[in-house]
Amino acid sequence: MALYPPSPAPPVAGSSTKNEKLIFAPSPDTPLSSPAGQAAIAARAAAHTAKVIAAGGAAAASSLASSGTSTPGGAALPPRAGQFLQHEGQGGLRRNDLDPVSPITQFHAWFAEAKAIGGIAHPETCTLSTASLPSGRVSARIVYLKELDRQGFVLYSNFGTSKKGSDLFGDGSENSEGNSWASLTFWWEGLERQVRIEGRATRLPAAESQVYFDTRVRGSRIGAWASRQSAVLEPKKDVDAKEEKDEDDGRAQLEKWVAEAEAQFGATKKAEDGAEVESEEDKIPVPSFWGGLRIVPERVEFWQGRQNRLHDRFVYDRVHSEGADGEAKEAWTIQRLSP
């Protein structure tokens, strides 16, 4: 299967086909905020809309335009929820449309399609949900998928002070218990699709995290060292503040930490054209509390929106078994779920 993006990730010592990067730090080819980026998205979205209408006919066209309803007496009612009709012309999602072997391969295909159509600004955006023990209290946050390999889904963050870190690995106290189970949810409205992933989270080795860390702009690497993610920032009492709006609300503490990190590693150097300049001596090591997190999937659901909320849902479940030679074997089952 072709890599996505086209350029493969930098090699990692000891790498093999098993951890080949199918996705590595995905980002738009053109900045989305630029006129060229906006024009590219608009053109792709228009082409996709035309394709949907051609496949689904008038019903699909009507679903793309929001409209309200009226009572016989003419009184307006709240608009009805939109119908999912894009794939009605193709008969929706069927089992033989799915990869028969691996949900990783199937996700890779859907992700590439979400990137290609335009109108989905950041298809790598997903919700990471974790739960703390023993309360079972769930928390969620939006993150970016940064890598996909044969083992699972990789994102990067602070795991030393963050809520997600304490949920997954404990907070370091004597009675703290980590819960390695986590889930990711992707929603691609332009395709009327979502993907739900459940699995166990493991930290990536520092050497692998360093490869991605080096791709970040220097300011973001400084920020990773500076921020005690989720720590409370205490306001600084400023007797010289003339008005309430001039009083510090805690931001000064963060800026102090950034200044300390810049003093340790050096501020960003720029060439005359504004590009960052960095020598080998200027490189910043990845912090021990920061790095990659791989969600190794045990269950992956592919959801395709359909008319009248009769959606197509297929779930892959990992099956663990032992071979005749005593070695662990893994396979996946695929089942259709009721909407």
Structure-model confidence comparison of residues 22 and 71, the more confident one: 22
Report the candidate in 335, 288, 281, 285 with the shortest Cα–Cα distance to residue 312: 335
Query: Does residue 140 sit in the same domain as residue 31?
Result: yes
Cα–Cα dist 257/228, whole Å = 9
Q: What is the phi-psi region of residue 145: left when phi exceeds 0, alpha when psi lies from -120 to 50, beta otherwise?
A: beta
Query: Does residue 163 sit in the same domain as residue 295?
Result: yes
Report the candidate in 157, 145, 91 with the shortest Cα–Cα distance to residue 115: 145
Say whether pLDDT at 264 is over 60: yes
Q: What does pTM read for this prediction?
A: 0.76
Flag whether 2 is in a domain. no
Residue where a domain terminates, one of 246, 261, 282: 282
| Burial bucket for residue 223 (CB in 10 Å: 0-12, 13-18, 19+) | middle
Query: Does residue 169 sit in the same domain as residue 248?
Result: no
Residue where a domain terminates, one of 264, 282, 300: 282
Say whether pLDDT at 73 is over 60: no
Query: Does residue 188 sit in the same domain as residue 52?
Result: yes
Flag whether 227 is in a domain. no
Query: Does residue 272 sit in the same domain as residue 295?
Result: no
Query: Does residue 178 sit in the same domain as residue 99?
Result: yes
Tally the domains of the chain: 2
Structure-model confidence comparison of residues 47 and 232, the more confident one: 232
**pLDDT of res. 18:** 57
Query: Are 21 and 9 spatial neighbours (Cβ–Cβ below 8 Å)?
Result: yes
Query: Does residue 129 sit in the same domain as residue 46?
Result: yes
Flag whether 194 is in a domain. yes
Query: Does residue 299 sit in the same domain as residue 268?
Result: no
**pLDDT of res. 136:** 94
Share of the chain above pLDDT 70, in %: 72
Flag whether 10 is in a domain. no
In the chain, the largest separation of any two C-alpha atoms, in whole Å, equals 78
Query: Does residue 171 sit in the same domain as residue 154?
Result: yes
Q: What is the phi-psi region of residue 46: left when phi exceeds 0, alpha when psi lies from -120 to 50, beta otherwise?
A: alpha
When the pLDDT of each residue in the chain is averaged and rounded to a whole number, the result is: 81
Flag whether 77 is in a domain. no
Range of the domain at 278: 233-282
Structure-model confidence comparison of residues 116 and 59, the more confident one: 116
Flag whether 146 is in a domain. yes
Flag whether 12 is in a domain. no
Flag whether 24 is in a domain. yes
DSSP state of 66: -
Query: Are 114 and 39 spatial neighbours (Cβ–Cβ below 8 Å)?
Result: no
Three-state secondary-structure class, residue 27: coil
DSSP state of 213: H
Query: Does residue 158 sit in the same domain as residue 238?
Result: no
Query: Does residue 113 sit in the same domain as residue 92?
Result: yes
Query: Does residue 36 sit in the same domain as residue 127?
Result: yes
Say whether pLDDT at 110 is over 50: yes
pLDDT in tens, 149-175: 999 999 999 999 999 999 999 988 888
Q: What is the CATH number of the domain that holds 301?
A: 2.30.110.10
pLDDT in tens, 120-139: 989 999 999 999 999 999 99
